[in-house]
Chain A
Amino acid sequence: MLSRVAASLYWQSRYIERSDGMLRMLKINYASSQDAIQEFTWEPVIRIFAGLDDDEGENLGNDSRAVLKYMVMGRNNSNSVLNIITLARENARSVQEHITKDLWQCLNEYYHTVKDSKLERALQREDPISVLDVLIKQVMLYYGTVEITMERGEGRSFMNIGKYLERAIQSVDILDTKFGSISDNPDLLTDTTYWKHLLLSLGGYELYLKTYREGFEAENVLEQVVLNNDFPRSVIYSVNNIQRYFERLQNDSNMDDFRDMTFKIGRLQSRIKYSSVKTIRQEGLHAFLTQIRGELYGIADVLNQHYFANS
């Protein structure tokens, strides 16, 4: 497979995954802003998801509609859903003959949906949750189409590596921000709605209720989001999948490159697998998450050098 094609598939899939995480986060935050008695802060969401090249986001304050507009349709926000879906589509466009026609049409429709000016109006005047749901549904269609139509080959492996890498980075970032806020405001530690919203925005609320019977505890939330093998947005689940799809590239790889990458992924996987909430607490959550994030970026670098011919 051409290096450029592999890189485009990988990035296409990273952008889609990012849009998914963002949309879910925005939806839950908006819903919780409707529950809030005191002023609701959008600051963590903007910190996690807005592009770094622009300070417009910082000045939005807590105006929910303005934040939503900025995060979904913001033209100056390089990380707005509109901008990243445009990038995902440009990537897909340059590799159209490597994805199925169904998938191309699906992504193309997602793009036209985000671009639709009616959607922008609805986001400002009508119920934002319905608008976000329309977009979330587009992502689900996309993933369903990948599942049903894409051949189980090299291309899909690169797509999945991109998807799970993005997901792992997102989960790490969200945890880091959410737990970081506790040190500023210790009351949050016992605030059940705070944890409930965190779990909802990661789609892990129902699983949590089934797993833990004793109500919302910070340590349990941490355990589920980092260490639960069955939770599809946990860090360990994402890393296991990076490993799984990378293994499949063995026959399509140069042996040295493959060994280098396998080593890096294996090291990260073991680091998480042989941690527990207790050991993470001991070394400090922030330090732990910073190290995991560094390793994830390291994997992305190796891919870039060895597989995408960008040295």
Chain B
Amino acid sequence: MQESAYFDKYNPIGGVWDEMYGADSNVRDHYRKVIEYISRESADDLNKKEELAKRLFMSQGITFTVYNSGEGIEKIFPFDIIPRIITAAEWAFVEKGIKQRLTALNHFLKDIYHNQFIIKDGVVPIDIIYSCPHFLREMYQLQVPYDIYVHISGIDLIRDHDGTFYVLEDNLRTPSGVSYMLENREITKRLFPDLLPQCGVRSVTEYPSILYKNLLALSPRQIANPNIVLLSPGIYNSAYFEHTTLARLMGVELVEGRDLVVNNHKVYMKTTIGLQQVDVIYRRVDDEYLDPLVFNPSSMLGVAGIMGAYRKGNVAIVNAIGNGVADDKAVYTYVPDMIRYYLNEEPILKNVPTYQLGNDDEREHVFKNLNNMVVKRTNGSGGYGMLMGHAASDEEIADYKKEIIKEPRNFIAQPTISLSAAPCYMQGELKPRRIDLRPYALFGPDGIEIVPGGLTRVALKEGSLVVNSSQGGGSKDTWVLA
């Protein structure tokens, strides 16, 4: 096989799992066809493809707006043109692992909002649950349709230096990014014509129809055409593009809080012919803002009285309210125990070892080894408020320690996991950059379905381990081979 200059110059990072190169510096089989294809292209052609990708994102309005001095500036999320490839065997393992984990987490939510056996049996300590800000009393003894809480989830996976998959985070509230899974694939079809079928890449296009089927099944009214809506915070939300894409692909109404009104414990939308009852709400508004009468009273994004309608069973809400207690970073530590407790199985996917800073011994251990640790807030997201021990200055560490001591329950620490690397196209060369993987799982009355693919986020800065888009991360199309 003839390899071009791009690959001769490619230097895998030492001690890191490289998705493309094996230990003996040979290209892994599943990357061969892509490499052959790219090798035939000149750097000029690849630059053109990169330009084309940018233009397609821009003209389709797949942008987010940064408001600066009163004027909106349109930006696109960085996209790397080289796909990330997952083999059929790897996928089968991941799929099985996520299904197992999700089943346990859903049992946990049902249990924690009803009988709380897991606390009574001493598997999860009570103070971890009751100190969690996302544990909502309002959900106690509330019946949700089919006992499903986590209809949509995006579990973040990373790979250590030997290629083992670890779960980094369970996102069980309103995980975003699925539109990028869909759009990245559409763009790749344009960038590399005919390559997808040659490689035998599995399709991701089923996602909206599976989601729609699940939403339809949740309708409390047994009628032919229940009203399903997607509740968005509005056009200024950074994920607005995703909301409209999903609404369009499913053919459901996209609504904002001001379009809805509750009367007599039923939710209605205001239309040109008057009020129409709403049956299922796929909401992309956080719990806290959903109902000003129950949660944050200053919220303009939600609907007054919606919680009452939910409690009465007159409307289905997706995902269920109060899921935050299951993806809290302090509760995360106990997920393997939950799997053993509810399913009587050994966990397939590993947890990253996690230290609870609320625990004196563990805190002491972490403080001694801060240089090799990542410290996170238990309720944080988006890569904000993290301390990367290996990169922080002494001063930053000292300040962060003070924060921790004030409220130790709010922090966890994990040893720095090295994250696998994949080739990225940068200014005419291929360079290894760190990646993670977020597959999207849909939990409906028929069980859990995971579309073969997901979002691969990539830390575009050299040496960076943070893949979040808010911290200079980008994304890649994610291929699962048949």
Contacts and interface: CB of A to CB of B under 8 A. Distances in A.
A90 B74 CA distance: 13
A104 B252 CA distance: 18
Nearest to A154: B272
B259 A2 contact: yes
B272 A307 contact: yes
Given A94-B234, A105-B61, A2 B253 contact: yes
A253 B273 contact: yes
A75 B269 CA distance: 36
A254 interface: yes
Interface in B412-470: none
A3 B259 contact: yes
A2 B255 contact: yes
B323 interface: no
Contacts of A39: none
A2 B60 contact: no
Interface in B271-304: 271-274
B235 A90 contact: yes
A93 interface: yes
A253 B272 contact: yes
B258 A254 contact: no
Interface string B245-272: 0011001111110110000000001111
> Size class of B's contact patch?
20 to 34
Contacts of B153: none
A226 B271 CA distance: 35
Contacts of B219: none
Contact of B270 (A3, A86, A101, A112): A3
Given A94-B234, A96-B244, A3 B271 contact: yes
Contact of A2 (B58, B234, B235, B270): B270
Most buried by B among A95, A154, A249, A309: A309
Contacts of B255: 2
A178 interface: no
Contact of B248 (A93, A97, A252): A97
Given A97-B247, A105-B60, A112-B58, A4 B272 contact: no
A4 B240 contact: no
B196 to A, nearest CB: 21
A16 to B, nearest CB: 16
A94 B235 contact: yes
A109 interface: yes
Contacts of B74: 112
A249 B271 CA distance: 13
Given A108-B60, A112-B58, A4 B234 contact: no
Given A96-B244, A108-B59, A3 B235 contact: no
A95 B71 CA distance: 22
Contact of B273 (A86, A95, A105, A254): A254
Contacts of A268: none
A6 B256 contact: no
A2 B254 CA distance: 9
A95 B254 CA distance: 8
A6 B258 CA distance: 14
A1 B61 contact: no
A2 B61 contact: no
B44 to A, nearest CB: 24
Chain A interface main SS type: helix
A112 B270 CA distance: 33
Contacts of B248: 96-97, 101
Given A1-B272, A97-B244, A97-B247, A104 B253 contact: no
Interface in A76-129: 86, 90, 93-97, 101, 104-105, 108-109, 112
B244 A6 contact: no
Given A93-B235, A93-B240, A108 B61 contact: yes
Given A94-B234, A94-B235, A97-B244, A6 B272 contact: yes
A299 to B, nearest CB: 16
Contacts of A253: 272-273
Interface string A1-45: 111101000000000000000000000000000000000000000
Given A2-B259, A4-B259, A252-B273, A97 B59 contact: no
A251 B71 CA distance: 42
A4 B235 contact: no
Interface string B66-105: 0000011010000000000000000000000000000000
A8 B66 CA distance: 23
Contacts of B273: 252-254
Contacts of B58: 112
B68 to A, nearest CB: 14
A7 B61 CA distance: 22
B61 A4 contact: no
A253 B273 CA distance: 5
B271 A2 contact: yes
Interface in B229-246: 234-235, 240, 244
A147 B271 CA distance: 25
Nearest to B61: A108
Nearest to A258: B273
A253 B274 CA distance: 8
Contacts of A252: 272-273
A101 B245 CA distance: 10
Most buried by B among A97, A249, A309: A97
Given A97-B244, A249-B272, 17 more contacts: A1-B271, A2-B253, A2-B255, A2-B259, A2-B269, A2-B272, A3-B270, A4-B258, A75-B71, A90-B235, A96-B244, A96-B254, A97-B251, A97-B253, A101-B248, A105-B60, A254-B273
Q: 10 tightest A-B contacts by CB? A: A97-B248, A96-B244, A97-B247, A108-B61, A3-B270, A94-B235, A307-B272, A309-B270, A1-B272, A6-B272
10 contacts: A1-B271, A2-B272, A3-B272, A4-B258, A90-B235, A94-B234, A97-B254, A108-B59, A252-B272, A309-B270
